[in-house]
A = this chain, B = another copy of it.
Amino acid sequence: LNEINENKMCFAGTKLSPNIRGITTSQLIRQGAGKYELIVHAVPVQFSFGHLNMLKNVLPKNVPILSTSKGISVETLEFMNEIIERALGPDYQALYISGPSFAQGLVDGDPTIVTLASKNEELAKKVQVIMSSPDFRVYTSSDVVGIEISGALKNVLAIASGIASGLGFGPNTQASIITRGWRDIKSLVLALGGQTETMLGLAGLGDLMMTCYGGLSRNTKFGRHLAAGKSVQEAIALVGQVVEGYPTADAACRLAKKHKVQVPVLSAIRDVFHGKLSARDMVVMIMCLPLSSEFQPRVKAKDVPRPKL
């Protein structure tokens, strides 16, 4: 990267700006990070706590960290904002970026619009100006929770969408299942203190559409293999890369249980992964959920207030 301004592993042949320089973690620990204006954290969620904890004494409190990592810790059920807080302390300034932004599109210079969220929206407004360019537009938000949940859980719906199309069903079924799954995610966003408006935005709908429809993603391919009757292990082997939505489905269902939120569509998808439902029975299950109002509040039976006798 530093010698030829190229990321040979992922984007061979594309010259990157000479402003982008690589530095190893050990170099960073030796040099310190005080001279940087903004630190981008792009380490996978499952390894983020360990990594940040190692850099704890190197990262100055006045240099904000911008996380591009999306997901939920399968071990602790934390999102990145909770991981960063646990690793670096509550007064560390952090930002979260999300939206329809395949790396290949960014490298190709395709016009791309994303959301940048921070609990400190004033900080987001400053970084918005630094990050925006004619082909990369950034809008701000203060809804870190909504952005993180949408960004992590959309991968589960991409698998379900792959299952539906793999079974030979057309666009009606794909869109129907994705949307009813999105309704589950809305319940989780609300229960965890996020705003449903965010799900209408770039980190919500925008990222969801790109992931489910913008070419065959790893998650969609995985779903198609399951629809073709492969086991989870066979499907993972056939995809040959990390399938983010697979561990996320289970973590999301555990998180929903913890917060007493009903997520029947996510549960049906998870049950396919656990071998409890066939791909086709998942669709049947989703089609047989009780007839109700579309956004009927989801409260578990035991949480319904009982009249005193």
Q: Which residues of A contact B (CB under 8 A)?
A: 99-102, 104-106, 108, 110-115, 121, 128-129, 132, 134-135, 137-141, 164, 169-180, 182-183, 186, 196-202, 205-210, 212-215, 283-284, 286-289, 291-295
Q: A111-B172, A113-B179, A201-B183 are in contact. Are A138 and B210 (CB under 8 A)?
A: no
- The docked-state distance in angstroms from the alpha carbon of A113 to that of B294 is 10
Report yes or no: B293 in contact with A121, Cβ–Cβ below 8 A. yes
Closest to A147 in B: B294
B129 touches A291 (CB 8 A): yes
Interchain CB contact under 8 A, B139 and A291 = yes
- A169 to B198 Cα, complex, angstroms: 25
**Contact status of A172 and B295, CB under 8 A, knowing A179-B202, A197-B196, A201-B179:** no
Copies of this protein in the complex: 2
**Given B112, B176, B198, B200, which contacts A182 in the complex, CB threshold below 8 Å?**
B200
Chain B's nearest CB lies how many Å from the CB of A218?
A: 15
The distance in angstroms between the C-alpha atoms of A183 and B113, with both chains bound, is 13
Given A102-B171, A139-B292: A202 in contact with B214 (beta carbons within 8 A) = no
Q: Are B287 and A137 in contact (CB under 8 A)?
A: yes
